[in-house]
């Protein structure tokens, strides 16, 4: 019996809403028959599941597809589109979003180091050194050092660019630096560390670049150990960063006073952010600071996991990523025409 045809809408909706363990299940359900596909799309089940898992995406106010960018450039034109086409587009986009956010390979997500609140000896102790996992590069120690402070309570911050406008961050790691060339080989960690995610406000009129960032997520404060090891900080749940920037806050000031100049420092060897980047599938456009709304441009409907596997097989210099507007799920149109049943 096809329950979608024989049960009322609320009951069918309650049954299909149970498919929330794997986002691909809804796509498979929509491939069962034409009536099932129509029901899944009409009830926006893929969109509802995506927003349930990642509430930050409630701020998406429009979708731009590469194939019809001109017709999708304004909210007005979207409203004028045929309702069925709009629902089908949302089904494709949110199914891809959910799949990418939950099943793409977990990799390092930091692309570049942007700025530090202070640096003691630039460029030898630059924030750029924190991108390298090695404690030494040749015979030279590799680390970032803050400026020295007479008070132990002065906080410090580091800003990083992530690999893509949309990144789901699952875990963060920091390794404090041990100054083996100082008396007693002290470890210059901070008392606590916190993390923020957000975007750069290009319309801001403030003069300092460090004040132009809009942070939309702030983590809890994690205690740091005064130990020379990569310390992991697991977020309570995966966080979707919209805008592609991360702030690391060293709170509570430095733990260790330097015996040479009697000042407090915070020094870091390496910073790592692990998660899933959707850089090859989506781009954030026209992000509004006041409302928090933004447009979402679809770059490719290819399966993010399959793209990653092809890239690894081809190697970084051989694999060419082709943008396509085709749905990454293949449906049997003949089967729909026959309206096959379970």
- Which sequence spans correspond to the domains of the chain? 3-103+283-338, 107-277
Using CA atoms, how far apart are residues 272 and 257, in angstroms rounded to an integer? Answer: 26
Looking at domain 107-277, its CATH architecture is Sandwich (2.60)
Using CA atoms, how far apart are residues 54 and 56, in angstroms rounded to an integer? Answer: 5
pLDDT tens, position by position, for the chain (342 residues)? 566 665 666 776 666 777 666 767 777 777 777 877 888 888 888 999 999 999 999 999 999 987 655 444 445 554 545 788 888 899 999 999 999 999 889 999 999 999 999 999 999 999 999 999 999 999 999 999 999 999 999 999 999 999 999 999 999 999 999 999 999 999 999 999 999 999 998 777 676 766 789 999 999 999 999 999 999 999 999 999 999 999 999 999 999 999 999 999 999 999 999 999 999 999 999 888 888 899 999 999 887 766 666 666 665 544 333 333 333 344 444 434 444 443
């Amino acid at each position: 019996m096809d329950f979608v045809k024989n049960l009322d809408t609320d009951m069918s909706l309650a049954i299909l809403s149970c498919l929330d363990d794997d986002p691909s299940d809804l796509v498979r359900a929509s491939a069962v028959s034409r009536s099932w596909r129509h029901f899944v799309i009409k009830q926006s089940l893929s969109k509802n599941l995506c927003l349930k898992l990642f509430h930050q995406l409630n701020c998406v106010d429009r979708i731009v597809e590469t194939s019809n960018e001109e017709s999708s450039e304004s909210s007005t034109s979207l409203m004028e589109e045929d309702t069925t086409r709009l629902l089908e587009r949302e089904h494709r986009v949110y199914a891809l979003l959910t799949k990418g956010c939950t099943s793409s390979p977990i990799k390092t997500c930091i692309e570049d180091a942007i700025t530090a609140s202070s640096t003691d000896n630039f460029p030898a102790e630059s924030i750029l050194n924190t991108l390298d996992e090695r404690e030494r590069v040749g015979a030279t120690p590799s680390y970032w050092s803050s400026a020295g402070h007479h008070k132990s309570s002065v906080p410090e911050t580091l800003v990083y660019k992530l690999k893509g406008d949309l990144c789901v961050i699952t875990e963060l790691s920091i390794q404090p630096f041990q100054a083996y060339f100082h008396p007693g080989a002290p470890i210059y960690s901070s008392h606590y560390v916190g993390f923020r995610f957000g975007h750069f406000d290009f319309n801001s009129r403030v003069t300092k670049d460090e004040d132009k960032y809009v942070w939309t997520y702030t983590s809890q404060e994690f205690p740091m150990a005064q130990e020379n090891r990569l310390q992991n900080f697991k977020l309570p749940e995966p966080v979707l960063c919209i805008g592609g920037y991360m702030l690391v806050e060293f709170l509570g000031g430095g733990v260790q006073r330097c015996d040479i100049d009697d000042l407090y420092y915070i020094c870091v060897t390496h910073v790592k952010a692990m998660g899933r980047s959707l850089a090859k599938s989506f781009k954030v456009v026209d992000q509004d600071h006041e409302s928090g709304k933004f447009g979402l441009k679809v770059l490719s409907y290819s399966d993010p996991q399959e793209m990653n596997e092809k890239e690894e097989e081809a190697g970084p210099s051989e694999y060419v990523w082709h943008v396509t507007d085709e749905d990454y799920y293949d449906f049997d149109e003949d089967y729909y025409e026959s309206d096959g049943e379970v």
